[in-house]
Amino acid sequence: MNKNTKIFSVVFFVFLVLSLVFVISCKAEPSLDSGNSPEVPRDPDDKDPDDKTPGEGGSGIIDPDFVPSEKSGVMLQGFNWSSAKRGGGYNNENRSPYWDKWYKVVKNQSEAISTKFAYLWCPPPSATDTASSEGYGPTELNNLTNCYGTEAELKAMIQAIKPTKAIADIVVNHRAGSTSWGDFTNPTWGVVKGSNYAVICSDDEGFTGEPSLMGASSKRGAADTGDTYKAYRDLDHTNTTVQQGIVDWMNNVLKPAGFVGWRYDYVKGFAGKYVGQYNAGSNAEFSVGEYWPTAAYNSGNPSAWGNEIKNWISATANGGQKSKAFDFALKGAMNTVFGNKGSNIGNSNYSLLANAANLIMSQPEDAVTFVDNHDTGSTQNHWYLDPTDVGTAYAFLLTHPGVPCVAWQHYFTYAESGSIVDSQQYIGGNTVPGTSNTYRKHIDYLIDLRNRVGIEYDDKVNTTGTTSSCYVGEIVGNNGTLLVKIGNVTDPTGEGYAGNDPIYRGTNFAIWEKGASGEDSGGNGSSGSDSGDNVGTVTYTITIPDSQTWIYNDSAKIFAWVWGGTHGDGEWISVSGTGTTLTMLADSNATGFLLARCHSATITPDWQVTEDGAGKVWNQTGDCTISSGVTNYNVSFN
């Protein structure tokens, strides 16, 4: 064999080997596209059921370092009907004792809010008719000082809760007059008292109720595009002055204050397309509408409510940018199944929870779910869920798609809420039936579980196995799979669940994680690497002498250094309260504590800080020993 032949043989051999490698590699990595076009990268928001197959054996956890997306976020309603309670004065000289407190209350709870919630639904931000101090009769839209507090306090609150994002409760169906029925100020939108009411709907009752002013004017708007609202003047949303005025208010007043989205009040009062228009005009990051159908909920025809709400959502999309809606259809189903208004006589038809009339089941990406809000519950008590089933309802909502909304009074205590009106409605420190957890610990555990499993608002639910006596829902997240049973709970038999204990259970509910067995099925929320609290949480009430009400002077913050039991050698815990009564949440096996009065900018106290600034401890109490079963203590600051 000559030299050229040898070279050719070597080259041919190398070519043959490379060809075989190429063929094998092509067989090992088949194309996702049967055609010849290049592969198009998938939008990360696009869902494919085949993409979500965690929990197939093992612990059910495919990534212990998994980071949930924003689509797993939960919202907190940052107020209730009592947060700026009516009563008292109607001017600056005689302010109600319940006013001017709430923004500071929320700011004091900013640490708890910012670590668990994606959004905070804030109360109506504008100046209001003080006969409607809750904010739903806005007078000066551009004035952000109202009965909840000042504009500066609002902005400080929004800054303090970050990274939680602020959602404004906006009232655009109607406005209140300043000195008469229909005189608008700041902005006027062209209203001239007694002669021009072109931005008010022509069929508004003000034109008959105030004959010498509104009734005498020929300049009126078009007919209302929705239901009338008799308390205040209905706005003509066909009028371009109204349309531009609302968008300008959003972009030039509310967004600079820190709001990123909107909760629209009473949206059945005007055509849904305008909500879509305002969303698009303000580039809203988040939007949800309060569409509460007028007719009573009918459990025999749940689609009557479901279709009405879905039609409104479609109308918003036609306006430019679709809005979510509160899932009142699901609220009707829950109130029917569990009972309501203190009557635990639900009809036990648990299949209503799985009905396609509920947004959470048919179009979960558009659903904001809730147990109760300021209208249905709180001190209004219009249509609240039976109290014994509130914990069960959260076990359902927080493990399912949609954007769950937690009621303030279900999460915080009376003292943490500034001790403002009716201590009975605040249950955050109460124990959830069938568990050893408080409602706050219960909700925290479920939020953590939701994030760890990677449940998102547009996930689908498999309700195979649901009967009239037991709801069964399987939810596949991005990092695990949950099986939730509500009602007549029995052990599951399916693959990945059979023989396993639930990871969490209480009265009327149980939760399993596919491929994992709960370490404790007794209601303490144990779940592998993300364990709940096996020790009950206790609200400790601490009283200081009347002479020491100065502890809150200069906007000081109070912290407790708590030690013993699950608190180990000690950890800092926020303390809330007013006057001489303080409260803290600590585990039931804690053995002692002391209180520290700190600089208002303090996040965590630091004994080493000597200059007057963040971390500085101004005063402290002596050590206080905790006795088993005792929750009330008296201490004094030095």
Per-residue pLDDT band for 54 (boundaries 50, 70, 90) equals very low
Over residues 631-637, the mean pLDDT reads 91
Rounded-to-5 percentages of helix, strand, coil across the chain: 30, 20, 50
Residue with tokens 């009809």: 347
Question: Which has more pLDDT, 181 or 40?
Answer: 181
Which range (257-261, 429-433, 562-566) has the least confidence? 562-566
Query: Which of the residue ranges 24-28, 38-42, 599-603 has the most confident prediction, judged by mean pLDDT?
Result: 599-603
- Give the whole-angstrom CA distance, residue 431 versus residue 180: 49
| Secondary structure of residue 244 in the 3-state scheme | helix
Flag whether pLDDT at 43 surpasses 70. no
Mean pLDDT along residues 74-88:
92
Query: Which pair of tokens denotes residue 403?
Result: 């954007």
| pTM: predicted TM-score of the whole model, two decimal places | 0.75
DSSP three-state, residue 149: strand
Taking CA 461 as the corner, what is the angle to CA 460 and CA 465, rounded to the nearest 5 degrees?
A: 155
State the pLDDT confidence band at 519, using cuts at 50, 70 and 90: low
Return the number of other C-beta atoms located less than 10 Å from residue 9's C-beta.
11
Task: Decide: 597 and 617 in contact? Cβ < 8 Å.
Answer: yes
Task: Please tell me which of 9-13, 21-25, 130-134, 317-321 the model is most confident about, judged by mean pLDDT.
Answer: 317-321
Mean of all residue pLDDT scores within the chain: 86
Instruction: With cut-offs at 50, 70 and 90, classify the pLDDT of residue 52.
Output: very low
Q: What is the 3-state secondary structure (H, E, C) of 430-471?
A: CECCCCCCEHHHHHHHHHHHHHHHCCCCCCCEECCCCCCCEE
Whole-number Å distance between alpha carbons of 116 and 613: 27
Tens digit of each residue's pLDDT (9 = 90 or more) over 321-343 = 999 999 999 999 999 999 887 66
Confidence label for 93 from pLDDT (cuts 50, 70 and 90): low
Give 25 or 546, the one with higher predicted confidence.
Answer: 546
d(CA 413, CA 394): 17
Q: What's residue 601's pLDDT?
A: 77
Has residue 610 got a pLDDT over 70?
Answer: yes
Residue 257 has pLDDT above 60, yes or no: yes
CB 533 within 8 A of CB 437: yes
Q: What is the pLDDT of residue 343?
A: 60
Looking at the chain, the number of H-run helices and the number of E-run strands are 14, 23
What is the predicted pLDDT for the residue at 533? 40
Q: Could you give the CA distance from residue 632 to residue 616 in angstroms, rounded to a whole number?
A: 27
pLDDT (average), residues 232-247: 98
- The contacts of residue 239 (CB under 8 Å, 6+ apart) are 198, 199, 221, 222
In the predicted model, is pLDDT for residue 8 greater than 90? Answer: no
What's the pLDDT score for residue 180? Answer: 96
Question: 387 or 173: whose pLDDT is higher?
Answer: 173
pLDDT band at 16 (very low <50, low <70, confident <90, very high): very low
Contacts of residue 112, Cβ cutoff 8 Å, sequence gap at least 6: 412, 574
Distance (Å) of CA 523 to CA 487, 503, 511: 15, 8, 10
pLDDT at residue 47, rounded to an integer: 38
- Model confidence over 306-322: pLDDT tens digits? 999 999 999 999 999 99
Tens digit of each residue's pLDDT (9 = 90 or more) over 364-420: 999 999 999 999 999 888 899 988 899 999 999 999 999 999 999 999 999 999 998
Task: Say which residue the tokens 């590699």 belong to.
Answer: 25
Q: What is the pLDDT of residue 568?
A: 79
Is residue 492 over pLDDT 90? yes
pLDDT for the residue 42: 30
Average pLDDT over residues 35-61: 36
pLDDT of residue 584: 83
Provide the pLDDT for residue 346.
Answer: 55
- Looking up tokens 């249950």, which residue turns up? 427
Q: What integer pLDDT is reported at residue 439 of this predicted model?
A: 96
Q: How far apart are CA 139 and CA 131, in angstroms?
A: 11
